[in-house]
Amino acid sequence: MTRNEMEQCISLRAEIKAIEESMKSPKSTYVTVFYKDYRTGKGIPKSLEGLDNGEEQLRELKAYHKNRKRKLMRRLRQAEKFIDGLEDSEMRTILRMYYINGNSQKEIGDALSFTPGRISQKLTTFWNVQKYSKPRKSKQSGK
C-alpha cells in the first residue's frame, strides 16, 4: 500500500465529517414541477412552483455519505491488512493511530513519548524506505 492510499483514509474521514455537517442544515431550493391538468378533458401542461425544504439535497447527501463511508471502510480494511503485515510494532502503532484512528502527530507523540516532529520524521522515513524497498521489475534480456 502506498502513502497516498493511506492518506486517503484521512481525507475520506474529513470528507465524511463535512457531508455530515451539510446534512444538519440542507439548503432550501426553489422547485418547479410540471404536470398535465386534465380538468378540461385535454392534458394542458402546467407548473407548480414552490420551495423545497431541503429534502432533495438531503436525499442526495445521504446517498453520497453512504457511498463515501463504504469507500472509507474498504480503504481501512486494506490499510489494516497492510499494517498487520509490518514487523515493527512501534511503526504499526504509529500508522494505526495516524491513518486508521485519525490521531494527530501530537497526540501520537504524547502517547508514545515522542515529539510531534519525531513522529513526522518516523513516518517520512518509513514511507521513503517503503518506496525504495519494493521489488523492481527486471528487464528480460533477449538471449
What are 63-74's pLDDT values in tens digits? 999 999 999 999
- pTM for the whole structure: 0.70
Q: Which among 25, 33, 30, 32 has a CA at the least distance from the CA of 58? A: 25
Reply yes or no on whether the pLDDT at 45 is more than 80.
no
Reply yes or no on whether the pLDDT at 97 is more than 60.
yes
Query: Which three cell numbers, joined as nine digits, stand for 24?
Result: 444538519
Average pLDDT over residues 88-100: 95
Q: Which among 13, 32, 18, 24 has a CA at the least distance from the CA of 58? A: 24
The pLDDT tens digits for 8-43 are 999 999 999 999 998 888 877 776 667 777 777 777
Which sequence spans correspond to the domains of the chain? 3-27+54-131
Average pLDDT over residues 133-140: 56
Local confidence band at 139 (pLDDT 50, 70, 90 cut-offs): low
Q: What is the pLDDT, as a whole number, of residue 141? A: 47
Average pLDDT over residues 104-128: 95
Angle between helices 55-84 and 3-24 (to 10 degrees): 150
Q: What is the pLDDT, as a whole number, of residue 36? A: 76
The helix/strand/coil state of 74 is helix
Find all residues with CB under 8 Å of 8, minimum gap 6, and list them: 75
Q: Percent of the chain beyond pLDDT 90?
A: 60
